[in-house]
A and B are shown apart, each in its own frame.
Chain A
């Protein structure tokens, strides 16, 4: 069990550029979550998947954000036309059906985005 891995760990980009983050969940986990966290705040829900189906996308998320999980394994989060307000840590987490209800999410180490 290698845990949840995220790539890249750090990304610096200029405003207006597109960025993509990848998340590889724990292999047997069928739920995958994306959160965004800024300094001094808790993780803010962005979206989540069960297998390849996207169950919900936060109303706070603009159309510049899109996430996919095409084969129910890894997931990508793309941000188009980045803005300085997008600077944050993007956290991916996964869970298995056996832990539903326990609230146990296994988080990756995050992808830190800095938009200049």
Chain B
């Protein structure tokens, strides 16, 4: 079982709608969770991190964490064409000292 699993997509969402991206992880002891965005031909960049169960909001982005279900999600409200990218879920497994493991990413297309 891979440590971080994501649906590769593509996920197509109309402009202005909510995009919902999901991720599951295998290490129950993981404490730190991240969402990176990667534009085509570019390197990843961090957009959100979350440590506690529940929701964390930053502008149009909301990260959600459910440790009991080992599930992390990212919601993007009022989706814009500029949000079209690959979204990478990442975790630090327990006792792994800041070693960050990435999922394979979900491609998101925002339809104008």
Contacts and interface: CB of A to CB of B under 8 A. Distances in A.
B32 interface: yes
25 contacts: A33-B100, A35-B102, A40-B8, A40-B104, A41-B105, A42-B6, A42-B88, A42-B90, A42-B102, A42-B103, A42-B105, A43-B88, A43-B102, A55-B99, A56-B96, A91-B43, A91-B44, A102-B46, A104-B46, A105-B44, A105-B46, A107-B43, A107-B45, A108-B43, A109-B43
A105 B103 CA distance: 15
Nearest to B98: A100
B58 interface: no
B99 A105 contact: no
Contacts, number: 59
Interface string A99-114: 0111111011110000
A22 interface: no
Contact of B90 (A31, A103, A108, A110): A103
Nearest to A58: B99
A88 B84 CA distance: 23
Contacts of B98: 31, 48, 95, 100-101
Given A42-B90, A48-B99, A103-B100, 9 more contacts: A40-B8, A41-B104, A55-B97, A56-B96, A103-B32, A104-B46, A104-B49, A107-B43, A110-B43
Contacts of B100: 33, 45, 103, 105
Contacts of B4: 42
Interface of B: 4, 6, 8, 32-34, 42-46, 49, 51, 88, 90, 92, 96-105
* Interface size grouping (class) on chain A: 20 to 34
Nearest to A56: B99
Nearest to B90: A103
B32 A101 contact: yes
Contacts of B99: 45, 48, 55-56
B42 to A, nearest CB: 8
